[in-house]
A and B are shown apart, each in its own frame.
Chain A
Amino acid sequence: MSTVVEKPAPTPAPVPAPAAQSVSVRPSLRIPIILGVLALVALAVFGFGAKSGVDSTFGLSLRADAVQLSPLVVASRPTAIVLGVLCVAIAAFAFWQAVKHRRTPAWLLAVFGVLWVFAFLVWAVAGKATSLVDLLQGSLLLAVPLAFGAFGGVLCERAGVVNIAIEGQLLVGAFAAAVVASVTGNVYAGLLAAPVAGWLLGLLLALFTVKYAVNQIIVGVVLNVLAVGLTSFLFSAVLKPNAATLNTPPLMKPIGIPLLEKIPLLGPVLFDQTVIVYAMYVAVVVLTVLLFRTRWGLRVRAVGEHPEAADTVGIDVNRTRWRNVLAGSATAGFGGAFLTIGYVGQFGQEMSGGRGYIALAAMILGRWTPIGSLGAALLFGFATKLASALSVLGTPVPSQFMLMLPYVLTIFAVAGFVGRVRAPAASGVPYLKG
């Protein structure tokens, strides 16, 4: 039946038994070794490789902020060396923990990541200045469509349907939001239209994958082509000649949250944003609770992991899949609205530009959880923002390599170098009762 896609599930058969045993007896040194290599890079390249006698300057406030902080100025070489030494210390600690058969706590890994990135930044910005607030805010904004796309992917895949069509859903969402917001003159009408457009594409996805049991990846790929074709066609034929009435949407205005927006550094970054960004905060919490703390979530996950078992206990597998595909597609479509009315304004041909595929990667790197997806989306957003910031500064690493980072990380993640990721077991397999 589904000859096209082989399961990504771990295959225990080819692994010889003795090797498997020795792995469980010997301490797993994979994470400490990775940390160690990274730490040495930080110390040798960023620390000792930094220009001596110059400063790295980080702006901490935007010009419009109420509270102005003076920029952070650090001596490049000593700071990078100190950060590198700290990284080495954490790596050594992780190594010691591993020898003692203890896991390195996750928060320590996060600290390592932050220190490492700062070492990199200090090295890259040596002798120059960059705005930290701008960097963080830019990362957050770039992450928004990725996060919604990834949430949409999580909803579908947890129910056992691969959603490659995220790209198309973002695109039709962006298109619908721009057109409806232009016609009505109301951004919130546009914001409502986006999920409807995503939902419509989801209708096709569900029809072909759930009802007609066509290979899910094929349908996803083709729906992306369809979305590009439809929006580009309508853009050239209708939107371009009538740009003034159909493609000049109002932009969403940031709404500051009282008190919270006054927090130095983080306030303006996190709490002076548009409704879509706040919706992202809400969505990650709601989805996490729904998927992992409610009966509905348990059923959805059962359908995604073992549809036969779910069917046996009376869950309607295909109805669950229909609902989740529609909900997930609408979520991704909602995220598409950000591309137009939340960020750029006008709709442009193929403006999703591969973000849907990055969202897919974020979902995988986030291990099919909403929180993880958000984290990965932020990471990808940060890499993209950093690449553009560094290309302006003209720093040693070509910006193209920075832009590669999310993709390389994802490859490492699915290959099991950065912890093992496992898809819902029935993801990609049509369920035919009988």
Chain B
Amino acid sequence: MLFDSSNLEAELGCLTKPDGSAKFTINDTVQLCGVYGPGEVKLMKEIAERASVSVVYKPRVGLNTNREKVFEYTLRSILDGIIITSLHPRTAINVIIQEVQNDSNYLACSLNCACLALLDANIPLKYTFASVSCALIENENRIIYFPNAKQEKESLMSGTFVFDSVDKDLISVNTSGVFDQDQFNFILNNARQYAIDKIFPLFNKLINQQYNKN
């Protein structure tokens, strides 16, 4: 029933200039993320009792459109809840995501990439988080993880789920398509299992490599 041939790859600290950076690959989607912080804050953005988190998404070509703006807003609201902002008042934490290749799944890819970059920058977090996007094909009742654009179009529903590392609870969800409660639960539970089986172990492996090298 489950079908999975996704290629996940990740790399930590691939940029030298930012305080933390990561590269994440899902099939043909590649994103680079750099994190600066806790750093100097613009007077307008300064918050007296916590850090201000900002997210910038850079598309591969052209300028930011509304699509990117909405996307930045989604990311920011997720990250803002996960970062322990009260520990660094009057500072800024800037997350910059550069699209390198885009073949759908960009929300999941960006989130995983941002998580790794935040870990690399050692920003205080409540927990790590992993994101999975999947599509439900109706007539076969099967799930495709990280569908490409064509599969996504043909599917009954598709969604991106974000889970935390402690209770494996849902943090955020973004869906499109028509579905009922059972179908949602079915896809949610499978996505959660996928995050536990594939993505969190990948993060653990990377961090362990980083710290056991010395």
Q: Do A and B come together as binding partners?
A: no
